[in-house]
């Protein structure tokens, strides 16, 4: 049975750690992927990187389907192709709840990764899936989407998040 994991909240410094490669696709990684999917679905998200649950390994899960029945697990993902075109999407993040802003990303990407059996796969993504994959892969590099915003917006968001965390503890 899957376990719901606590999601780190911005500006937690652990969100900025760079994830190391997964060395073996084993039962521990499969269980972590299951836990991450359960956590993502419970939080009503469409993507979650291991970094966000304080596991600093190159693993992410996404499901952009309307029915939440098409989960993808990507282990050691890497972008191997990007489109010339870019799109601006209004993004949010489970680590920055309640905050949404426009971020420009490649319109289409091809991502090579391992699946939960350790088999290589290539995901050809565009639109929402491409945006989601890039967003989650940023987390594996220690980058949160607010870093694409102006310093003024970033500081306002940081102040708001710290205030929310203080209020939640009180």
Residues with catalytic annotation? 136
List residues forming the annotated binding site: 93, 135, 139
Q: Which residues are annotated as a binding site for Fe cation?
A: 93, 135, 139
Whole-number Å distance between alpha carbons of 68 and 49? 17
**What long-range pairs does 8-12 form, CB within 8 A, spacing at least 24?**
8/51, 8/52, 8/53, 8/54, 8/95, 9/95, 9/96, 9/97, 9/161, 9/165, 10/93, 10/95, 10/96, 10/144, 10/146, 10/157, 10/158, 10/161, 11/158, 11/161, 11/162, 12/95
The three-class DSSP label of residue 32 is: helix
E strands in the chain: 47-49, 59-62, 72-82, 86-93, 96-106, 108-114, 120-126
- Cα–Cα distance between 38 and 45 in angstroms, integer? 10
């Amino acid at each position: 049975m899957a376990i719901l994991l606590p999601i780190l909240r911005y500006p937690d410094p652990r969100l900025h750690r760079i994830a190391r490669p997964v060395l073996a696709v084993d039962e521990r990684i499969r269980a972590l992927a299951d836990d991450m999917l359960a956590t993502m679905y419970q939080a009503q998200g469409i993507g979650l990187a291991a970094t966000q649950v304080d596991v600093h390994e190159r693993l992410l899960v996404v499901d952009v389907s309307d029915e939440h029945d098409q989960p993808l697990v990507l282990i050691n993902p890497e972008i191997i192709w990007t489109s010339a075109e870019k799109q601006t999407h209004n993004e949010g993040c489970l680590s920055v709840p309640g905050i949404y802003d426009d971020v420009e990303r490649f319109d289409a990407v091809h991502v090579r990764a391992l699946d939960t059996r350790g088999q290589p796969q290539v995901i050809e993504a565009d639109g929402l899936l491409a945006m989601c994959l890039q967003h989650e892969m940023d987390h594996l590099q220690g980058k949160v989407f607010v870093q694409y915003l102006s310093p003024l917006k970033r500081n306002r968001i940081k102040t708001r998040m710290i205030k929310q965390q203080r209020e939640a503890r009180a």
